Amino acid sequence: MAFQYIPNIAVKGMAACVPKKIEDNRELSLFETEDDRNKFIQATGILKRHTVKGSDLCASDLCFQAAETLLAEIGWERSEIGYLIFVSQTPDYIFPATACILQNRLGLSQECYAMDISLGCSGWVYGLTTIASLLSSSVNMKKGLLLVGDTTTITKSPKDKSTYPLFGDAGTATAVQYEEGSIGLKIHAATDGSSHKAIMIPDGGFRNFFSSDSLVEHEIEPGIVRNSLQSILDGPGVFTFGITKAPKSISGVLEYFDIKIDAIDYLVLHQANKMMNEKIRKKLKIEPEKVPYSLPEYGNTSSSSIPLTMVSQLCYPLRFRHNVIVACGFGVGLSWASVILETNKIVCPPVIEI
Amino acid sequence: MEEKFIKAFKEALELEDRTIDLTDTFRDYEEWDSLGHLSLIAILDEEFGVVIEQAEFNKLNTVGELMVEVKKRMA
């Protein structure tokens, strides 16, 4: 297993932003029967989702607003921010990197290391690892902004009941600082590219260019109709993957760094669906009180689900207490990663809606 | 084993009132859907500690084949 220990790193603040528009699964006409709808809601735990549909908002806009709110409260000088990482699978353009655009929009110094990372569900943990490593090796810049967000609702076919009612949009900002004496991060990260087709958009990249065929709808099975620019999700395959890999990754990192599961205040899981997350929680034998959910209100928000869950569900403990937190992201790639971090009275404004 | 397996299988797919034959093709059941599939994966893991990879699972057709695969993996 690939483990990392990055000492002297502290998360100093977090913020999250979602689009105002809400879609309610209780009102969606996609389900054939009421029984189907109820079963879906019971299994996934997803009542409603925020979506950028009908607006021109991108993931970068949601992250930008989260970052602005965070910076206003945290009191950092923008010139002090030496690192900007944008994690997303829904960037503004094929190129340039959205991080470059955000460097300018946020008024950060040109002396700023900025780049995109293309990951989804595991993205916040990978992004945190990357920015922490950069800050650790920096000679003179001690502050970094990790912007993680996705607008996956526009990548789902409205005629696909296997994907459409699951996903919501959000953008988040995490302020990370190099600080002598901070406990830092303990990380496990892993990849299984053999299953890369389990969650994917087949066309529109450079393997399969966009063509008129990309827009042709295919009926995969009744209730699952999509074109090749819309996202595939192999539910059972990803479920099998999640309930196997996530618990192993979490218990693996805890064991490797000799931390007892009882010493953990919160386990923050990527918000896949309730059935899968509850399986993972039960396997780890962690009390439900320690495992927050943002699924009912926001759905699966891809890369932003871990920070959005922290901001929306743990705002009070994050602001006023010291916490030992384990976060685990798992999904598209397939890619998964767990991090153990400690937070101490960090900046955490309530979720912003735009 | 067979009794325990059938019980778990019925529970996952909500087939409690039905008679299940080992030669039944489970994907042909009216009750077979994606959520039932997920419940089955979850229950096999819970009751038997067995997780069958998706590619392998797709090769299985009958209730009996599934039971044999679960048995094999328990050993």
Compute CA distances A182 → A11, A130, A147, whole Å: 10, 17, 22
Interchain pair A243, B34: CB under 8 A:
no
Provide the greatest CA pair distance for chain B. 32
Interchain pair A235, B37: CB under 8 A:
yes
For A214-238, what is each residue's pLDDT tens digit? 999 999 988 899 999 999 999 888 9
pLDDT of residue A212: 96
For A264-303, what is each residue's pLDDT tens digit? 999 999 999 999 999 999 999 999 999 999 999 999 999 9
**Mutation site, B27, B35, B39, interface A, largest A CB count within 10 A:** B35
d(CA A338, CA A187): 6
- State pTM to two decimals: 0.94
> pLDDT tier at A345 (50, 70, 90 boundaries)?
very high
pLDDT of residue A331: 97
- H helices within chain A, ranges in order? 34-44, 59-74, 98-105, 123-137, 235-256, 274-284, 295-298, 305-313, 315-320
Map chain B to HEC letters: CHHHHHHHHHHHHCCCCCCCCCCCEHHHCCCCCHHHHHHHHHHHHHHHCCCCCHHHHCCCCEHHHHHHHHHHHHC
What ipTM was assigned to the predicted interfaces of this complex? 0.80
Query: Any idea what DSSP says for residue A265?
Result: S
Summarize the confidence of residues A244-254 as an average pLDDT: 96
Summarize the confidence of residues A345-349 as an average pLDDT: 98
Summarize the confidence of residues B9-34 as an average pLDDT: 88
Crossing angle for the helix pair A235-256 and B34-48, to the nearest 10 degrees: 40
**Chain A residues contacting B via beta carbons under 8 Å:** 39-40, 43, 162, 195, 198, 234-237, 239-240, 243-244, 275-276, 279
pLDDT of residue A57: 98
| Range in A113-127, A162-176, A181-195, B17-31 the model is least confident about | B17-31
pLDDT of residue A36: 87
pLDDT of residue A221: 86
d(CA A177, CA A133): 11
Instruction: Please tell me whether the peptide bond between A96 and the residue prior to it is cis, using omega within 30 degrees of 0.
Output: yes
Interchain pair A240, B34: CB under 8 A:
no
Tokens of A211: 């063509």
d(CA B25, CA A27): 35
Crossing angle for the helix pair B2-13 and B34-48, to the nearest 10 degrees: 150
Task: Evaluate whether A17 touches A66 at the Cβ level (below 8 Å).
Answer: yes
pLDDT of residue B36: 86
Tokens of A261: 């599961």
Tell me, yes or no, if B45 comes closer than 8 A to chain A by beta carbon: yes
